C-alpha cells in the first residue's frame, strides 16, 4: 500500500519531465522559414525584376541579413544592400542585368537565434529583338509571340515540410498513454 503513492509520484514526475522536454523542443523548432518568394523559385522571367522579395513565416529580426546575387558562373553581382521590413527581405537588383541564370543565396538569423539559409534560382530570358535583314520581307517575331513560352513572374508557396509538430504530437500522445497505463496498473493492484 505504501508503494502506490510512490508509483503515482513517479508517473507524475515522468509525465511532467516529458511535457517540459516537449515544450522546449517545440520552441527550439520555431525558426522563421521562407514561405514565399518573388520571383518564384526556378522562374523564367521576360525581364529583369526590380527586386527579389523573400517572405518569411515571422518578422525578420536580423538587422543584417545576407542576400547575395550570383550569376551563372557563380560570380557575385554587385548591388545594393538588402532591406528588411517586417517578415520580408528585399534585394534591389541592378538595372541592365544580361539574360542568364541567377541564384540568390540568402541567410538570416531566426528570432530564436539560429541561422536559417537557402537559395533561390531564376532565369532572365528577355526577348532579343534583331534588326530586320535588308532583303527580308518577313516581319521579325514580336515579343508577344516570343513571350508565350515564358512563365510569368509570380509568388511561389514554399510550404512547411517540417516534421517537428508531428514528432512533438506523437511524443505527447505516447507520454499520455504511458501515464494512463501506469495509473491503471496502480489501480488494479489495490
pLDDT in tens, 137-156: 555 555 444 433 333 344 44
For the question of whether the overall pTM of this predicted structure is more than 0.75, the answer is no
Q: Which of 121, 108, 116 is nearest to 69 (CA)?
A: 121
**Residue ranges of the chain with pLDDT lower than 70?**
1-4, 16-30, 129-180, 182-190
Give the list of residues 6+ apart from residue 131 with CB closer than 8 angstroms, or none. none
Phi, psi values for residue 38, rounded to 5°? -135, 105
| CATH class (in words) of the domain with range 34-129+141-159 | mainly beta
**H helix and E strand count, the chain:** 3, 9
Question: What's the pLDDT at 169?
Answer: 60
Contact 67, 105 (CB under 8 A): yes
Nearest to 87 by CA among 119, 116, 122, 44: 116
Amino acid at each position: 500500500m505504501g508503494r502506490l503513492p510512490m508509483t503515482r509520484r513517479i508517473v507524475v514526475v515522468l509525465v511532467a519531465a516529458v511535457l517540459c522536454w516537449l515544450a522546449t523542443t517545440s520552441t527550439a523548432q520555431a525558426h522563421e522559414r521562407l514561405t514565399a518568394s518573388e520571383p518564384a523559385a526556378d522562374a523564367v522571367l521576360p525581364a529583369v525584376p526590380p527586386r527579389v522579395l523573400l517572405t518569411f513565416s515571422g518578422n525578420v529580426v536580423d538587422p543584417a541579413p545576407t542576400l547575395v546575387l550570383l550569376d551563372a558562373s557563380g560570380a557575385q553581382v554587385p548591388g545594393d544592400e538588402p532591406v528588411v521590413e517586417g517578415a520580408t527581405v528585399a534585394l534591389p537588383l541592378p538595372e541592365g542585368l544580361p539574360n542568364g541564370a541567377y541564384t540568390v543565396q540568402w541567410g538570416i538569423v531566426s528570432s530564436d537565434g539560429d541561422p536559417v539559409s537557402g537559395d533561390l534560382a531564376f532565369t532572365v530570358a528577355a526577348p532579343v529583338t534583331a534588326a530586320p535583314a535588308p532583303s527580308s520581307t518577313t516581319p521579325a517575331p514580336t515579343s508577344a509571340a516570343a513571350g508565350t513560352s515564358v512563365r510569368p513572374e509570380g509568388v511561389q508557396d514554399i510550404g512547411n515540410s517540417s516534421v517537428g509538430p508531428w514528432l512533438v504530437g506523437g511524443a505527447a500522445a505516447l507520454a499520455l498513454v504511458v501515464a494512463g497505463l501506469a495509473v491503471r496498473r496502480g489501480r488494479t493492484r489495490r
